[in-house]
Amino acid sequence: MEQKDNIFTGRGEVTPFEFNETVASVFDDMISRSVPMYREIILQQARLAAKFYKSGTVIYDLGCSTGNFASALIQEMRGREFTLSAIDNSSPMIELFKKRIAAFGGAGNITPLVSDIMDIDFAPSSVIVSNLTVQFISPDKRDLLIKRIYDSLIPGGIFLLTEKTVNPDDDLAALQQEFYYRLKEENGYSQIEITRKREALENVLIPETVETHINRLTSAGFSAIEIWLKWFHFTSFICRKD
């Protein structure tokens, strides 16, 4: 049974957010209550990965957390052989990932790795997934990462990117924030929890506009880019390398 996220209920000093053991232990509850349509995003990404995967290449899950995408992919592949490299810089996340995937037995060739994704030497890949990960990387490194992702994909390969985005229009940005906080309240978070988590994420999670993401993806070489899901400031892209 997953643990309930009550990390930000206290009143002490707010420290910068990090994916430590405490966060890892409540991650599934946290993300399902904080990211609208999260399960739908994971399900459709697994289906897309199964459709576009090519034998002899690697599927990368960048910022794999506790293994939600990997679990969905195993079920979607239905016994097909595949190779998945799951990367996260949080050791507690990877430990939970290993426990979850072990329950599936020997399904697929899955390699979990504790690493900064900027340090990965990408092998030829047909699918790369990044869910709410780029936003935690220093903005000055993001162009290089996306270019390396593009270069590692084989022709016809896809990059599945989900990010929290911001609108350049102040009124629309405020509207996005209002409806997002309303969602979090409906999912059981108090005003104190919402405020304290926002403070913890300040200068840790740095979102960008949809236009900034598209410009970066285009500059890297992607010519086919689609927003396949959007809920206010949560945006999911599919990008194909021709």
Domain that holds residue 27: 1-242
Pairing of strands 109-114, 224-231: unpaired
CA dist., res. 54 & res. 161, Å (int)? 19
Q: What is the C-alpha R_g of the chain?
A: 18
Instruction: Calculate ∠ Cα 85-87-90, nearest 5°.
Output: 150
Take residue 76 and report the two structure tokens written for it. 């979607």
Q: Which phi and psi (to 5°) does residue 57 adopt?
A: -115, 175
pLDDT at residue number 12: 78
CB atoms within 10 A of CB 118: 13
- The answer to whether the CB of 240 falls within 8 A of the CB of 157 is yes
Could you give the number of structural domains in the chain? 1
CB atoms within 10 A of CB 232: 18
Of 166, 86, 79, 80, nearest in space to 129 by CA: 86
Task: Please report, in tens digits, the pLDDT of each residue of the chain (242 residues total).
Answer: 568 999 999 777 899 999 999 999 999 999 999 999 999 999 999 999 999 999 999 999 999 999 999 999 999 998 899 999 999 999 999 999 999 998 887 666 999 999 999 999 999 999 999 999 999 999 999 999 999 999 999 999 999 999 999 999 999 999 999 999 999 999 999 999 999 999 999 999 999 999 999 999 999 999 999 999 999 999 999 999 99
The HSE-up count of residue 89 (CA atoms within 13 Å, CB side) is: 11
* Packing angle, helices 170-186 and 191-201, rounded to 10: 130
pLDDT at residue number 2: 65
Give Cα 224 to chain centroid, integer Å: 20
Report which DSSP code applies to 124.
P
For position 45, which CATH number holds? Answer: 3.40.50.150
DSSP bridge partners of 114:
88
CA dist., res. 147 & res. 150, Å (int)? 5
Direct distance between the N- and C-terminal alpha carbons of the chain, in angstroms, rounded to an integer:
43
- Dihedral angle computed from the Cα positions of residues 128, 134, 139 and 144, in that order, rounded to the nearest 10 degrees: -10
Take residue 153 and report the two structure tokens written for it. 């994909």
**Element (DSSP H or E) covering residue 115:** none
